[in-house]
A and B are shown apart, each in its own frame.
Chain A
Amino acid sequence: MSENEGALLEIRGLEVVFDGFRAIDGVDLTVGQGELRFLIGPNGAGKTTLIDVVTGLTRPAAGTVRFAGTELTGRREHRIVRLGIGRTFQTSVVFEELTVVENLDLAAGFRRPLPALLRQRRGVSGTVAEALDVIGLGDLADRPAGVLSHGQRQWLEIGMLIAQRPRLLLLDEPVAGMSGGERERTGELLTRIAADHTVVVVEHDMEFLRRYASQVTVLHEGKVLVEGDVAAVQADPRVQEVYLGRSREDVR
């Protein structure tokens, strides 16, 4: 299977090309079972693209992506989800017409056979109740998701992810656009989830990173720049250069 025994996700030699532009250029990445991994890097480093490849949204030009020994490339999105990978999006997408509970119930239900779907939902299943509890939206359970605030939507999305009961969670910038208090709560949520899940978090926010990350991978221009624990990565001069250099460009 692989040289790394505890690995849940193994990416080898990954390349993604958009109209001649190499968004990902030979990335190797291994995420072990139970790990909480942060993926950082300046804009355009290929972080989101990496997640897109893992979840089937983008087809790679070369390379392999293995999840618990199963090759993911070429599989369609919902198949990958069924293998046990869940993700969130930078801009949260929840179903505004459905209530919070219905959103969660939907997420929890993909293993149900079609005939079972034809029945009406009665009450709230254990999985949904648990997810509702974790994200703390119990008071809003029967409100349509459309009335939620930005932060609440992000939590609902995370809740939907939990309700899916995946083996690997991929969070794409979960705290982007959040207020300080919301960040705090999201961080706690993350810690709680990470306790019994394998999680990969794409994040921009260095403060958030410092507080909650342990293992960090830095991407730059489609390549892995550095990998290691937070302190080591932060101390790495290449990382500092990339971030400082890039931030100047960002202003342009």
Chain B
Amino acid sequence: MTTLLVLLSLTVGVYLVAVLEAWTTNGHFRIAAPLCSALALLGRESIVPRKADRIFFEAAPILLLTSALLGAAVIPLAPALIVTDLATGALFLNAALAYVLVALLMAGWGPDGAYAMVGGWRFLGQVIAYAMLIVMPIMAVAMRAESLLTTEIVASQAGLWNILYQPLGFVLFFAAAMALAFVPPFDLPTAQGELAGGVEGEYTGVRLAVFRLGRMVLILTLAAATVTFYLGGWQGPLLPPWAWSAIKTLAVAATMLLAGRMMPRIREAHLLAWGWKLGIPLALLNIFLVGVLVLVLP
């Protein structure tokens, strides 16, 4: 029963995110925009490149969608509204999201296209850059909650949201999340200007639709995760828990989509350099600080 509820709320969430994404990309708010584009995509002819690696070509969008959904499984939208409350929930989220990389690799290698391949390997380089940056803040959050259970983490933020408790961790996590969801300025795999759609370039028709859906779910999951770890999840004064989590998630998603629009696309080498030389030391520092805070504050 709860899974059904979660699924329902997810679809609504995804639709809204799609609307937001359409709004941010082409500037005007049309509530039906995602529906129209989805229908248009479904109508189009689905083309398969001649020398494509069929298995990879077919599996890539599906894998993207499933990994995003699996990620969503451990996110508590409300005190009881969670698919499975794994003991290592936070880690599981990360493990699930790791397969986004695999999906994009397969999408890049499958169609046997130069731009697609370059896009795919670019995303690998990008992942290597921020992979650690996602795990370490989550660890800091788990330290505060002394457990990997996502519900525990939300409960631990009752007094003080983690965004205030460990702001450094929040900033790093938020940037890593944007990179993982390859929204601009981190949209290296589907760089419009350079790679003409990159990984998405070869896909048409249903596969493209699924691909885009997967991406929307991914953005939603990441936003929800940010909310769970740093913005106190479903906790909020007046409104019911699910309303708070919905509002917060949509807000985070919107900021994600809007935040990077103005910045130029970051080149991979810079991303790697900042990730390792700047990001990881800060993350370690953050863990250190959280450790001190946890020991000091009762």
Instruction: Report if A and B associate in a common complex.
Output: no
B interface residues, Cβ below 8 angstroms from A: none
